[in-house]
Amino acid sequence: MKKFMNDPARVVDDYLSGLVRAHDDILEWDDDHRVLQRKNFPMTPKVGLVGGGGSGCEPTHTGFVGHGMLDAAVPGQVFTSPVPNQIAAATRRADMGRGVLHVIKNFTGEVMNFGMAQEILYFEDIEVAQVIVNDDVSIPDDGETAGRRGLGATVLVEKIAGAAAEEGAGLSEVQAIAQRVVDRSGTFGVGLSSCTPPLRGKPVYQMDDAEMDLGIGISGEPGRARVPLQTARDIAELMVDEVLTDLAPPSGADLLMLVNGMGGTPHQELYLMAGELGAAAEARGARIVRQLVGNFVTSLDQAGVAVTFLELDPELSRLWDAPVETVALRWGR
């Protein structure tokens, strides 16, 4: 294993320490409760947003704390859900009297632990709502499994629901907008390598140079199928087909496209894929009107790329464009 680290058991703490040191204008770390929170909460109370999950997917969720997105994030250990008490503490911190939305990726541990946190909070005077992100179209939506995993749409949910909260929307409205993003999103990922969790010390699985994995997640598990490596264009057509067949947007729909690297894929390849993915989507009659390209929902150092499409409407586009100031997304218009 080759990583920049001190002690495999302290990677998450050391990462958080560096993150907060670099961005102490917007972030604060509560070490007692293991909550990463906004340094400056807004003067006018708004709905709070809390996201969390296993570490290793950075900048999700820690890089999305700040104005216009999350009020607090709860990082677990690598690929391990945060615990209920931690989530409850974050929720108390994020509550400004108007309720808190939990953004939960659809992984068994996360759903369970956020649920237990909600039970802990039930008798406190904090209104909690949740959205479960399940945009992974590689898994059949047939009720036979734990369901579709929450992947790239998480960023879109946190950005768009965060903007709605910042504008003053109420909890049920923020929840409804978050759910609308989930309902209108789909993601499909392709991996070229495994990843190396620090405590494991070696890749989770082996792959040949001539292979790729289809339908990857973000927790180090292999993809749902292993096939021969193809050209970027063929991979892009396959990915777009998987997502748009499932999402089935009307012809001429306005789409947001997130081209997401898994941590080990560089800028050059991500933009090369963005070009192919955009062309493939437009060949099917879609219009790509917003694009985000980079490493956002990752799996440590895995080489891979996932595409997320979101069918926009004027309200979602406006909320997407609204100002945001976090570590990993930052713009003002």
Q: Minimum distance between the CB of residue 264 and its own copies, rounded to whole angstroms?
A: 5
Q: Minimum distance between the CB of residue 98 and its own copies, rounded to whole angstroms?
A: 29
Q: Minimum distance between the CB of residue 8 and its own copies, rounded to whole angstroms?
A: 11
| Spatial separation of the C-alpha atoms in residues 106 and 262, rounded to whole Å | 18
Q: What is the DSSP letter of 241?
A: H
Q: Which residues contact 212 (CB under 8 A, 6 or more apart)?
A: 190, 191, 192, 223, 226, 227, 228, 229, 230, 235
Cα atoms found within 13 Å of the Cα of residue 270, Cβ hemisphere only: 22
- One DSSP character per residue, 259-328 reads EEE-BSS-HHHHHHHHHHHHHHHHHTT-EEEEEEEE--S--TTB-EEEEEEEE--HHHHHHHHS-EESSS
| 308 C-beta neighbours (distance < 10 Å), count | 29
Range 283-306 burial, b when 16+ CB lie within 10 A, else e: eeebebebebbbbbbbbbbbbbbb
| Spatial separation of the C-alpha atoms in residues 196 and 3, rounded to whole Å | 9
Q: Minimum distance between the CB of residue 84 and its own copies, rounded to whole angstroms?
A: 24
CB nearer to its own copies: give 84 or 263: 263
Report phi then psi at 102, rounded to 5: -90, 125
CB nearer to its own copies: give 58 or 95: 58
CB nearer to its own copies: give 92 or 296: 296
* Tokens standing for residue 323: 């100002």
How many residues make up the chain in this entry? 333
CB nearer to its own copies: give 129 or 279: 279
Per the CB < 8 A criterion, the answer to whether 222 and 205 are in contact is yes
CB nearer to its own copies: give 18 or 45: 18
* Tokens standing for residue 252: 């001429």
CB nearer to its own copies: give 50 or 259: 259
Q: Minimum distance between the CB of residue 277 and its own copies, rounded to whole angstroms?
A: 8
CB nearer to its own copies: give 249 or 264: 264
Q: How remote is the C-alpha of 162 from its chain's centroid?
A: 13
Q: Which residues lie near its own copies (CB under 8 A)? A: 1-7, 11, 14-15, 17-19, 21-23, 55-56, 58-59, 63, 192-193, 209, 212, 229, 231-233, 235, 259, 263-276, 278-279, 291, 293, 295, 298, 300-301, 303, 305, 328, 330-332
Q: Minimum distance between the CB of residue 41 and its own copies, rounded to whole angstroms?
A: 21
Q: Where are the alpha helices (DSSP H) in 122-255?
A: 153-167, 171-183, 232-247
CB nearer to its own copies: give 10 or 141: 10
